[in-house]
Homo-oligomer: A and B are copies of this chain.
Amino acid sequence: MIANTPKPPYYAVIFSSLKTASDLKGYEAMAIEMDRLVQVQPGYLGHESAREGLGITVSYWNSLEAISNWKKVSEHLSAQTMGKSTWYQAYKTRICRVERDYGFENECSIII
């Protein structure tokens, strides 16, 4: 779903990745665990994720310090190590300051 973030400014981490064919079960278990863990991090505001060949996960944070702390959580460090050695062909992480946002919601339509 679309993350329900507060009024800017806040921060976004855009994580774009291409997977390998290796250890798909291990990858899935890690993804579920990271999804659970990230949500209890101080300063976490929400995240959005989609994969269609290329995977894009955007997480939202209230400060750069919160992002830095999440990067250093031990389970997340292990995931980063396995990501490089096994799961990812390539990735790019971009740390951003969200300056402005706007949106739209139509209450009458059917989601597919």
Which of A's residues lie within 8 Å of B, judged by CB? Answer: 1-3, 5, 8, 12, 14, 16-22, 48-56, 58, 64, 83-84, 88-106, 109-112
Contacts and interface: CB of A to CB of B under 8 A. Distances in A.
B102 A93 contact: yes
Contacts of A96: 12, 96-99
Given A90-B105, A91-B104, A106-B89, A53 B50 contact: yes
A20 B111 contact: yes
Secondary structure call for the A interface: strand
Copies of this chain: 2
A47 B95 CA distance: 16
Given A56-B48, A56-B50, A112-B19, A89 B101 contact: no
Given A1-B54, A14-B14, A16-B48, A111 B89 contact: yes
A106 B53 contact: no
B90 A100 contact: no
